[in-house]
Amino acid sequence: MYNTENVGNNIPEPLRKIVKTILKYIKPIIVGILLLIVALSSFFQVQPEELGVITRFGEYIRTVDPGLNAKIPFAETVYKVPVERQQKEEFGFRTTDTRSLRTGYSKDGTEDESIMLTGDLNLADVEWVVQYRIDNPYNYLFKVKNPISTLRDMSEAAMRQIVGDRTVNEVLTVGRTEVANKVHLLVQELSTEYSLGIKIDQVILQDVNPPDAVKAAFNAVNQAQQEKETLINEAKSAYNKVIPKARGQAKETIQKAKGYAAERVNNAQGEVARFSDLYKEYIKAPEVTRRRIYLETMNKVLPQLGNKIITDGKGNNVLPLLQMQMQSQGKQPKAN
């Protein structure tokens, strides 16, 4: 048989002393290690942007502020919740290679959450971001089993509801801000109702496009609509140039006609008044009035005749009249 008593005799003396020394201090070393483990397990550090939630055997005990804190080792567990950090969930795309200076985006595997039906039965590819903070660590950890998954489901349901109440043109153009605001309010309302412990900071519509399968047809429709709007605007511009000008010319013509009519009426009324006065004078003295009218008429007519020769019925005495006419014009008759 093998004699175990002789085993120690085979160990060299220096090594035997080291073993005896270790065996002598093994208990204090073990106790010291255990005390160190207990001490390290009793204290923990909470970062400035975090809150510490402590549970004892799975039951919530308290919430501690940032800094150095203590707990019962092995009995209490600490959950550090980043309440001051803004976090985000992306829908319809994923950010890739965030550590480099050039951030990339990928749509692989996200089509199911981004393709939506609009109110006018069209499809839209909606990409959006939900930015949030944790404002109630207790609710965030213990009220809902998976708060982030629940938040994503609520956000997608809210976006589909809001987009489904609007036309595709509203979602693509003028209604984007309104859609984002309504989704923000609806997701916050659901988060409060389900006690997620999450505060929604902002909902951002990253991009809204028609699906790739119909993008070409959709762009053609948009181009046709834009051309239609362009032609309508051009027609309105031409209308605004021609119609006001025609209206102004019509008003001008009407004013001229009114002025001409007033002038003719006034002249006619003046002629009537003059004729009436003349007729009254004629009744009083017919011969005198007739003679005066004749002379006044000849006084108006004769200056407009130019060169004129007045003779008697036999043609006598023409030369004196010619001399009078020449003298009136400043000329002298030539001597024969």
Whether residue 325 is predicted with pLDDT greater than 60 in this model: the reply is: no
Distance CA 241, CA 243 (A): 6
Question: In this predicted model, what pLDDT tens digit does every residue of 12-42 receive, in sequence order?
Answer: 677 777 777 777 777 777 877 877 777 777 8
Whether residue 182 is predicted with pLDDT greater than 90 in this model: the reply is: yes
Contact between residue 142 and residue 95 where contact means Cβ atoms under 8 Å apart: no
- The better pLDDT of the pair 98, 57 is held by 57
Task: Collect all residues with Cβ–Cβ distance below 8 Å to 209 and sequence separation of at least 6.
Answer: 124, 125, 172, 215
Contact between residue 205 and residue 128 where contact means Cβ atoms under 8 Å apart: yes
Whether residue 274 is predicted with pLDDT greater than 50 in this model: the reply is: yes
Whether residue 281 is predicted with pLDDT greater than 90 in this model: the reply is: no
Percent of the chain with pLDDT over 90: 36
Within 10 Å of residue 197's Cβ, how many Cβ atoms? 22
- The better pLDDT of the pair 39, 59 is held by 59
Q: What is the predicted pLDDT for the residue at 207?
A: 87
Residue type, 289: T
Question: In this predicted model, what pLDDT tens digit does every residue of 292-321 receive, in sequence order?
Answer: 888 888 888 777 776 666 666 665 555 555
Task: Collect all residues with Cβ–Cβ distance below 8 Å to 167 and sequence separation of at least 6.
Answer: 118, 119, 120, 122
Q: What is the predicted pLDDT for the residue at 275?
A: 82
Contact between residue 116 and residue 159 where contact means Cβ atoms under 8 Å apart: yes
87-210 has CATH 3.30.479.30 classification: yes
Both structure tokens of 60 = 């919530």
Contact between residue 82 and residue 123 where contact means Cβ atoms under 8 Å apart: no
Nearest to 83 by CA among 44, 139, 32: 139
Distance CA 312, CA 294 (A): 19
Q: What is the predicted pLDDT for the residue at 310?
A: 61
Cα 134 vs. chain centroid, distance in angstroms?
31
Whether residue 336 is predicted with pLDDT greater than 50 in this model: the reply is: no
Q: What is the predicted pLDDT for the residue at 112?
A: 87
Contact between residue 36 and residue 15 where contact means Cβ atoms under 8 Å apart: no
DSSP of 168-231, one letter per residue? HHHHHTTTHHHHHHHHHHHHHHHHHHTT--EEEEEEEEEEEE--GGGHHHHHHHHHHHHHHHHH
Distance CA 201, CA 229 (A): 38
Both structure tokens of 245 = 């000008």
Whether residue 7 is predicted with pLDDT greater than 90 in this model: the reply is: no
**Which of 20-29, 37-46, 64-73, 237-246 shows the lowest per-residue confidence on average (mean pLDDT)?**
20-29
Distance CA 269, CA 214 (A): 80
Whether residue 283 is predicted with pLDDT greater than 70 in this model: the reply is: yes
Three-state secondary structure call for residue 87: strand
Distance CA 31, CA 88 (A): 47
Contact between residue 141 and residue 53 where contact means Cβ atoms under 8 Å apart: yes
Question: In this predicted model, what pLDDT tens digit does every residue of 157-180 receive, in sequence order?
Answer: 999 999 999 998 888 888 889 999
Within 10 Å of residue 96's Cβ, how many Cβ atoms? 11
Contact between residue 181 and residue 204 where contact means Cβ atoms under 8 Å apart: no
Whether residue 102 is predicted with pLDDT greater than 70 in this model: the reply is: no
Place 191 in a pLDDT band, splitting at 50, 70 and 90: very high
Q: Which residues of 260-282 are buried (b: 16+ CB within 10 A; e: fewer)?
A: eeeeeeeeeeeeeeeeeeeeeeb
Q: If you average pLDDT over every residue of the chain, what do you get?
A: 82
**Which of 51-65, 115-129, 204-218, 255-269 shows the lowest per-residue confidence on average (mean pLDDT)?**
204-218
Both structure tokens of 225 = 């609509």
Please compute, for residue 53, the number of CA atoms within 13 A of its CA located in the half-sphere on the CB side: 17
